[in-house]
Amino acid sequence: MNENTLQIVRLPDGRRLSYVECGVPDGKPVLYCHGNPGSRLDCFLFDAEVIARLGVRLISPDRPGIGGSDFQPGRRLVDWPDDVCALADILGLERFAVLGYSGGGPYAAVCAYKIPQRLSAAGIASGSAPLNIPGATRGMGPGRYYFRGAATHPRLAEVFLKLMGSGMKAGMKGGREMSLPGMPATDLEAMRRPGVGEAFLNTFREACIQGTRGAAWDATLLARPWGSRLEDICMPIYLWHGEEDANAPVGMGYYVAQSIPNCRAKFFPGEGHFSLGANHVAEILSTLIG
């Protein structure tokens, strides 16, 4: 399997949906929901050797307006499971696991809410909680301004994305390591691993390859009411969260774990937002395919 090959399918409404795969072509399927701002290339932040060794077929699609996927006017967060099912049907997958990381967590949650009959397992790692709850962004770094702006109007999120992109480009041009303001030491260490900082920059660039509209609308959907309740999820959900997370503070993890009726949560002292995946991807994927 060529892990870097962009795949494009046509959805029932004619939209293009792009995705990549990594791992084992005939392995156990796990559909990955990327973060924000992120893209299908998020999956390359994880150790490819671990994914292959576990026998996982990791399928990572771009959400509408991101990467190679067409923008979907009027999209709601609760519309995502329809695209997931359409992609699974095209790939011949009757059942599959779903994993949402960071801003992809709510998308995994809505899949568990809307299409539990298609899922063999569901997991959320370093996931966001509903951002309209009181104190949701307490302890969050500069990302809180991004999501507050997105809740008001997607164009404010676009301004933040452009500023973030300019800062990342300047940092890399100056030879500095990939980092974000307020990033804990454990995440900085993860970013120093070979290829990880570059993968982070690549997924951000791909998120905005069509311009910032798609990623900004995606952030707006995360920042506003989701259209479904965590309390209404009937299937079991696995949750992993680092206690030093500055992107999705640990309070978010506790809120999600307490809100989902059958949530099997594990919190990691000393782990941050990115280090959780870097250090525990084997445990996360093993649980989902187990």
State the pLDDT at residue 1: 37
Nearby residues of 133 by Cβ (< 8 Å), 6 or more positions away: 255
The CA distance from 43 to 41, in Å, is: 5
CB-CB contact of 26 with 35 (8 Å): no
pLDDT of residue 2: 40
What is residue 178's predicted lDDT score, i.e. its pLDDT? Answer: 55
With contact defined as beta carbons under 8 Å apart, do 206 and 184 qualify?
Answer: no
Tell me whether the omega of the peptide bond preceding residue 194 falls within 30 degrees of 0, making it cis: no
pLDDT in tens, 135-172: 888 889 888 999 999 999 999 999 999 988 776 665 55
Tokens of 26: 């005939």
Residue whose tokens read 């009959």: 117
Superfamily classification of domain 7-289: Alpha/Beta hydrolase fold, catalytic domain (3.40.50.1820)
**Can you give the pLDDT at residue 170?**
55
List the chain residues with pLDDT less than 50.
Answer: 1-2, 174-175
Each domain of the chain, given as residue ranges in start order, spans 7-289
pLDDT single digits (tens) 99-123:
999 999 999 999 999 999 999 999 9
pLDDT for residue 133? 87
Indicate left, alpha or beta for 227 from its phi (over 0: left) and psi (-120 to 50: alpha).
left
Map residue 237 onto helix, strand or coil: strand
C-alpha–C-alpha distance, residues 35 and 83, integer Å: 17
Task: List, in order, residues 6 or more apart from 177 with CB less than 8 Å away.
Answer: 188, 191, 192, 197
- DSSP category for residue 252: H
Other CB atoms within a 10 A radius of the CB of residue 131 amount to: 21
Residue 257: both structure tokens together: 């774990």
**What's the pTM?**
0.94
Report the residue count for the chain: 290
Quick one: which H or E segment has residue 87? Answer: helix 80-91
